Structure 1
Amino acid sequence: MKLLTLLILALGGSLLAQTPAYQNSDLPIDERVDDLLARMTVAEKVAQMRIFHANQGVEGDVSGRLTLSENVKARLEHGIAGIKNPGEHLSPVAAAQVNNALQRYIIEHNRLGIPALFVTESYNGVDAAGSTVFGRPITSAASFNPELVQRQWDVVGREARLRGMHMCHSPEADLVRDPRFGRMSEAFGEDTYLVTRMVVSAITGVQGDYDGLGNGTHIGAVAKHFAGYGQVLGGTNFAAIEISERTLADEIFPPFKAAVKEARTLGIMASHGDLNGVASHANPWLLTEVLREQWGFAGYTVSDANDIGRLHYFMKVAETPEAAARMALQAGMDVDLYADDAYALLPAMVGRDSTLIEDIDRAAGHVLRTKFILGLFDDPYVDVAETEAGVRAESSLQLARESDAESIILLKNVGGTLPLRRSGQRIALLGPLVRENTEASFRAVAGEGLSFISDRGFELTDGNRSIPQLNDDTADGVDRLVEQAKEADVVVLFLGGDEYTAKEGFFNGALGDRESIDPLGPQDELVRRVKELGKPVIVALLHRRTLSINTIAERADAILDGWDLSEFRDESLARAIFGEINPSGKLPVTVPRSIGQLPFHYSGKEINNKKGYLFTENGPLYPFGHGLSYTTFAYDDLRVSDSTMTADGQLTVSVRVTNTGDRAGKEVVQLYLKDLIGSVTRPDMELKGFQKIALEPGEARRVTFNITPEMLEFTRLDGKRGLESGDYEVRVGTSSTQYVTTNFKLRAE
């Protein structure tokens, strides 16, 4: 017996000695990465630097059965960094089954058993069938509630992981200040501070406060597009980016820096564009010096679709495809998304230049490290039994409703038009944004005391997903809507834009940007004609880009701005119209009167405000931070803890906010700072804090903010970021144009 025991122990020790270090979950991740890299061929390493789309031939059916094309099998011969959107059109359970089968195939068919990353996107929740549909990021930003946004993205992370996904090419840390840009709604607004807080909340949520990565409950984030992507000239996708070094450092970088240092994002995606003429995908200063050496980023960088190859044939900064691959690799780009004409060339290039190995090891190592962090080497599969119960849970659906409730913005409400009473009225629901179930949603909320008419009237476009054409056959539809309005006591017009009128302009010829920001088609005409009937007109404004709604603002009695709400859009709008929701959203952007005012954001330099334009009123149509309520709020007794602040100190600012109306409501208290004199021209004001509070009628509360030295830093005349002595004005209020003020002096010496 003793001999048998010794034999078993000896065999166990021998088996343990044969287990590769990278398969030992007790070892530190860096040791596992180093051990695995040492075992890999060049082809295997380069495979860990490439992602292809599932549309290359990854197919699954409703029963969860997997089919792979010969093309895909060939792509998986040496393993793969990841696959984009596998199972996106399947139910969550079928997707989980397909992705389990796909992962098993990948592990069993590459020599070292390396799992793959399955990647999604998250603009309205997980970009896949059967997921909870939330409002888009700019809608969420209107809530001015980072805690709510974190809970929303926590659901996104959980639902994605339950489908078998591991990373998402989201959120966007870009600032969006040009409403011509079709992708405006994918980001969180125009302001550096607001976007920073929302991006940190989104990443923290989707990654499960980082702890959710290793325990298999959440997915990794890829913050994008680094950097300045939202500033493309003319608002057109793929155009050049012209921003100063000071603007880049002070306004564009902070959300990305916070994504790295505060939220610990696992990934960063580079921008389509350029900075100072240097293509972002071939910019070592951006991708290595700033991102890694200054900020300490340890995750992986990934190209935007095909952009490494485009260094040659589009950006025209590389003489050959091989030169493009070398430039991106040496700049610090780890992963090539989609292309077959870029990193696919690296194995042959290494045969001619072995010095590339060091950069290949770095890039592949960053990807492998991510897979270890996600626990994929130890537990690569989804528990399908948990998928059905976990996706679209009732709590997630309620969260979508809650997010809507806090994101709807009351832009205008003349004479208390809203909320509507629930009896004795006939209400017309009219316009091109009316849906098939809009009337049913309103009936369910309103109850039995009201009657409804609903009619879409006309379409805005022909619905072509690539290049939609404007619908010019609208006259009969407008006439019919006006006739319907005559039969109603109150008219609710559903106006704005949809997924065809603001979208991504893809490289393959698709268009999504606009040269005008006026409402499309005969929408202004419809508002004018309906208002001439002498009935109350309420506009439900639904859109994915800022619109110059001058006619709507002039003629409508009330405007509810919903941006792009959740799957409960109509229910949420009905609840707001009938007073179940007291709107508390605020504008995350400035609404211009005309496209001619662009570029136009509230924090532009003070000198921009010296002159207006002939024949039009100066200033915004609606300012950043604006949003009304069914109650009213008063601000007074603004206090600052000291008249002077030092470089190593801080101040406390407080204000009393009182609900002076007869309804409970929520108010976003906003803190702005204005540097009165600087060594360089300074922003007119900058948002530096906000708090969303709930107050009962007559209730008052003192709201407090801390002003720290970090809030006052900027890139000075000497080109260094730091403080300058001088005077500051504190502005605390309900928007960027309505506030109470006080002052303090900074002594930076």
Structure 2
Amino acid sequence: MTAIYKDPARPVAERVADLLARMTAEEKFAQMHAFWLILSPDGQHRERTDLSDTFAGVSEQAALQERLKLGVGQITRPLGTHIVSPRDGVRAANRLQKTLVEETRLGIPAMFHEECLVGLLCKEATLFPSPLNYASSWDPSLVEAVAAAIGAEARAVGCHQGLAPVLDVSRDVRWGRTEETFGEDPWLVGVMATRYVQGLQGPDRSLLATLKHYVGHSFSEGARNHAPVHIGFRELNDTFLLPFEMAVKLANAGSVMPAYHDIDNQPAHSDAFLLTEVLRERWGFDGLIVADYGGVSLLHQHHGVSAGPAESAALAWNAGLDIELPKDDCARHLGEALEYGLISQEKVDQIVARILTEKFRLGLFEQPYVDENAIALQSDESRRLAREVATRSMTLLENNGILPLRNRPRIAVIGPTADDPLALLSGYSFPVHLIISDWLDQAPQVTTPLQALRETLGEAQVSYAKGCHIIEQRMAGAPVFPGESADKPQQQSPVSLDTSLIPQAVTLAKSSDVVVLCVGDLAGLFQSGTVGEGSDTDSLALPGVQQQLLEALVGSGTPVVVVMTGGRPYHLNGYEGRVAALLMAWAPGQEGGYAIADVLTGAAEPQGRLVVSAPKSAGAMPYYYNHKLKSGGTPLAFHFGARYPFGYGKSWTTFDYGELTLAAERVANDEASEIVAQLTVRNSGSVAGSEVVQLYVRDELASLARPVMELKAFGRVHLAPDEQAVLRFTIPVDMLSFTGQDGERVVEPGTFEIMVGASSGDIRQRVRVHLEGDIRHPASRWRMLSRCEVLA
């Protein structure tokens, strides 16, 4: 007779209960962790041992084959861990799955997870732009399409869970992981993340998206990786929890990953209030909570809140964790924790039931293997999408009229990022991620700006000089340990200070009509680069001697167009006003060279708008547009503020804004009410173009201090010269809510200023709306999304 759990016609709950009843304690523990393996098609798998072991303080482990007999919850990055062809990687993963399904007592298949923030992290996958590029397009539907393409590639290689998107809200661009964020506005982050999750998971959640890093990771002390976060719950809820709440409630996100830091002395991996009460009980989250790599071990290794791995395991799983990643560092001690009463059998069963539920729901028991002949990566559509989002994220910050380039000028392409494929990629792109393991992938699918400009304008029109280096030799960076100690080696910066290439670049500039200077940073984890996870900074000056190169080239007398790539905005030390143009390209991915060339030559419009403010200096940090009134100090600190504010970006044309009007100046404070505002926008220039019209709100009087302004709606309009359109914005009154004195979301009656403009620093029209009625707590499923309609 077929066991109930093997019968796909039976309800999932029955299958889970039947299987759970058959499992030993050790088999249950095995479902609560992952293995990080170098897989082999012949079944001779081995454990990955390197940086992560030092990081998590791992001790010697038992024989792998014996442990595999018990099964396992997940396999960590089967294709993303090392350089392996997708076909060989899938064949090896199938061999491991065959062992689990056909050669263990119960035949429980494993879930495979991979990184997929900027494309599937494996060899030959499409290398998409960074999340800063995604958000800079201000096009949620495009972000959803990109995520769907990433999801298709992930499914093709057998991935069941993707460790993306990142919902951290940028607060200090010195933080290395700024490049992974959707920007500094919590609502915009929530909108983009929601659409990313919807695209990645698909309508049936057949691939689990993973919301990270839960929560507040980006507001770390001094913008340092893993550093403590100092924040109260009200601000945490309004700013940092909001995107997670949106992605859970609006997109049914399948997984959440806690962060490494502590908030008010409570480590995130053992925070029962956030992991269970808020996430599961208040929001109704029904997916899996997975540890950030080594995060459970850090409870005793770094935070010092437990005496060892058994206590750490109990703290994390009692708080709400489901699966330890990337290995079983603490899960191996669950038997000890159970024996000493640190965790109950009931709690273990609850956790394993959730894990099994997802495995049944995903159909893993019926279809555990992947068709290695059906792998599809780098499709025409994925490359098209990569190019489209890169192009539409190009953000023009300065232009004295030199752009777009006309009449085929003699161009000197200069700079350390002009012909470096890795300079266009993020830290979680496969070729860059390999650097921490001292592996090298040449990234042949990347087209650099130099290559694209030569292809566009012709070899004869484009000359090249590197000008300087950022890092002369890419290699693994700093060891991953926290704190200062006399017995630990002092790390030396890998950034080059060599100026010997500058004179040659100046000579080339003098013989050219225009210089395209490509500057920025290099993504690399743990100080193997100048931006990325663990690659934080204390300065917003261009890394190395790039500023000296810039000043020398401006001094040549030839117009200099600066193209900045990377994961954070850098200042030009006052040269912003002396360059001919400044284009922010972020990390535009494999098609980024084409995107840059298209905008420089006028084949495409610069449609991007900033989603992080470009601060005047590092001394302004932390800085974000939606700050409190007194954030700049009293008197206002001279270094406070942004040279280029949130929402900013130039076009090839100009736009006039008509009068902003309200459908009603008085609106009832109830869950059905909406604020409706509209205005006319006209293209007042001589060429066609598009504008991102942004609507902000300010609460004029509240029971608690509120930000000076908050984005609540936006819409893009495309107009021919002298063409105009009416934009109508509809904002649910629920979106005026904030976290009140009692820690609950509240909507207070009062007067609100409605502001519409081209950026947070360029407000064109203002009106006031009066919200009438009683103080109200919105429903759990409160209305989180506004609308913008473009009318003829």
* CA apart distance, 1:355: 5.9
Paired residue for 1:456, among 456, 463, 466? 466
Tell whether 2:592 aligns with 1:569: yes
* CA apart distance, 1:165: 1.1
Task: Write the deviation string for residues 323-361 of structure 1: whole angstroms up to 9, x where unpaired.
Answer: 221111111111111354412101233244396111111
Contact 1:428 1:492 (C-alpha < 8 Å) held by counterparts: yes
Letter matched to residue 186 of structure 2: T
Tell whether 2:420 aligns with 1:395: no
Tell whether 2:183 aligns with 1:189: yes
* CA apart distance, 1:431: 0.7
Paired residue for 2:569, among 546, 557, 563? 546
Residue in 2 that maps onto 1:524:
547
Letter matched to residue 46 of structure 1: F
Tell whether 2:402 aligns with 1:417: yes
Contact 1:95 1:164 (C-alpha < 8 Å) held by counterparts: no
Q: CA separation in 2, counterparts of 1:524 and 1:442?
A: 23
- Provide the TM-score with structure 1 as the length reference: 0.91
Q: CA separation in 1, counterparts of 2:248 and 2:534?
A: 32
Task: Write the deviation string for residues 379-402 of structure 1: whole angstroms up to 9, x where unpaired.
Answer: 112223321xx3211011111111
Letter matched to residue 772 of structure 2: R
Matches within 5 A, 1:577-592: 577-592=600-615
Tell whether 2:42 aligns with 1:19: no
Letter matched to residue 353 of structure 1: G
Tell whether 2:61 aligns with 1:69: no
Matches within 5 A, 1:535-684: 535-609=558-632, 611=634, 616=638, 619-648=641-670, 649-684=673-708
Indicate how the Cα distance of structure 1 residues 552 and 95 shifts in structure 2: closer, same or farther if over 3 A, else same. farther
* CA apart distance, 1:102: 2.2
Q: CA separation in 2, counterparts of 1:236 and 1:619?
A: 21
Q: CA separation in 1, counterparts of 2:632 and 2:755?
A: 18
Residue in 2 that maps onto 1:87:
79
Q: Report the 3-state secondary structure (helix = DSSP H, G, I; strand = E; otherwise coil) of the residue aligned with 2:462.
A: strand
Residue in 2 that maps onto 1:78:
70
Contact 2:258 2:290 (C-alpha < 8 Å) held by counterparts: yes
Q: Report the 3-state secondary structure (helix = DSSP H, G, I; strand = E; otherwise coil) of the residue aligned with 2:676.
A: strand
Contact 1:492 1:538 (C-alpha < 8 Å) held by counterparts: yes
Q: Report the 3-state secondary structure (helix = DSSP H, G, I; strand = E; otherwise coil) of the residue aligned with 2:397.
A: strand
Residue in 1 that maps onto 2:137:
143
Task: Write the deviation string for residues 427-483 of structure 1: whole angstroms up to 9, x where unpaired.
Answer: 0000111116543321212247x6111122221124233147344452211122111
Matches within 5 A, 1:678-697: 678-697=702-721
Tell whether 2:39 aligns with 1:51: no
Contact 1:183 1:504 (C-alpha < 8 Å) held by counterparts: no
Q: Report the 3-state secondary structure (helix = DSSP H, G, I; strand = E; otherwise coil) of the residue aligned with 1:337.
A: coil
Matches within 5 A, 1:424-573: 425-435=409-419, 437-447=448-458, 451-461=461-471, 462-467=473-478, 469-500=493-524, 511-573=534-596
Name which of structure 1's ranges 308-317 and 68-77 shifts more when overlaid on structure 2: 68-77
* CA apart distance, 1:613: 5.9
Letter matched to residue 22 of structure 1: Y
- Gaps (5+ residues) in structure 1? 1-17, 214-218
* CA apart distance, 1:548: 2.8
Indicate how the Cα distance of structure 1 residues 745 and 653 shifts in structure 2: closer, same or farther if over 3 A, else same. same
Letter matched to residue 76 of structure 1: L
Indicate how the Cα distance of structure 1 residues 157 and 373 shifts in structure 2: closer, same or farther if over 3 A, else same. same
* CA apart distance, 1:286: 0.9
Contact 1:528 1:555 (C-alpha < 8 Å) held by counterparts: no
Tell whether 2:278 aligns with 1:278: no
Contact 1:524 1:551 (C-alpha < 8 Å) held by counterparts: no
Letter matched to residue 696 of structure 1: A
Q: CA separation in 2, counterparts of 1:548 and 1:451?
A: 30
- Gaps (5+ residues) in structure 2? 48-62, 421-447, 479-491, 775-792
Residue in 2 that maps onto 1:698:
722
Contact 2:412 2:464 (C-alpha < 8 Å) held by counterparts: yes
Q: CA separation in 1, counterparts of 2:213 and 2:710?
A: 23
Contact 1:428 1:488 (C-alpha < 8 Å) held by counterparts: yes
Residue in 2 that maps onto 1:746:
771
Matches within 5 A, 1:235-384: 235-353=223-341, 356-384=344-372
Q: CA separation in 2, counterparts of 1:394 and 1:472?
A: 38
Indicate how the Cα distance of structure 1 residues 503 and 603 shifts in structure 2: closer, same or farther if over 3 A, else same. farther
Letter matched to residue 80 of structure 1: V
Letter matched to residue 700 of structure 1: Q
Contact 2:496 2:545 (C-alpha < 8 Å) held by counterparts: no
Name which of structure 1's ranges 32-41 and 429-438 shifts more when overlaid on structure 2: 429-438
Q: CA separation in 2, counterparts of 1:611 and 1:479?
A: 46
* CA apart distance, 1:607: 2.3
Paired residue for 1:106, among 93, 100, 105? 100
Indicate how the Cα distance of structure 1 residues 482 and 80 shifts in structure 2: closer, same or farther if over 3 A, else same. same
Tell whether 2:160 aligns with 1:166: yes
Indicate how the Cα distance of structure 1 residues 438 and 502 shifts in structure 2: closer, same or farther if over 3 A, else same. farther
Q: CA separation in 1, counterparts of 2:706 and 2:15?
A: 49
Letter matched to residue 172 of structure 2: D
Paired residue for 2:390, among 404, 413, 423? 404
- Provide the TM-score with structure 2 as the length reference: 0.87
Letter matched to residue 547 of structure 2: D
* CA apart distance, 1:519: 0.9
Q: CA separation in 2, counterparts of 1:123 and 1:577?
A: 28
Calculate percent identity across the aligned residue pairs.
35
Q: CA separation in 1, counterparts of 2:575 and 2:92?
A: 49
Contact 2:314 2:342 (C-alpha < 8 Å) held by counterparts: no
Q: Report the 3-state secondary structure (helix = DSSP H, G, I; strand = E; otherwise coil) of the residue aligned with 1:673.
A: strand
Indicate how the Cα distance of structure 1 residues 527 and 142 shifts in structure 2: closer, same or farther if over 3 A, else same. same
Q: CA separation in 2, counterparts of 1:264 and 1:422?
A: 52
Aligned residues: CA RMSD? 2.1
* CA apart distance, 1:172: 0.8
Indicate how the Cα distance of structure 1 residues 511 and 265 shifts in structure 2: closer, same or farther if over 3 A, else same. closer
Residue in 2 that maps onto 1:5:
none
Q: Report the 3-state secondary structure (helix = DSSP H, G, I; strand = E; otherwise coil) of the residue aligned with 1:384.
A: coil
Contact 2:712 2:735 (C-alpha < 8 Å) held by counterparts: yes
Q: CA separation in 1, counterparts of 2:614 and 2:686?
A: 29
Contact 2:467 2:504 (C-alpha < 8 Å) held by counterparts: yes
* CA apart distance, 1:503: 6.3
Letter matched to residue 741 of structure 1: R
Residue in 1 that maps onto 2:197:
203
Larger Rg: 1
Name which of structure 1's ranges 194-203 and 657-666 shifts more when overlaid on structure 2: 657-666
Letter matched to residue 551 of structure 1: G
Indicate how the Cα distance of structure 1 residues 341 and 618 shifts in structure 2: closer, same or farther if over 3 A, else same. closer
Q: CA separation in 1, counterparts of 2:474 and 2:372?
A: 36
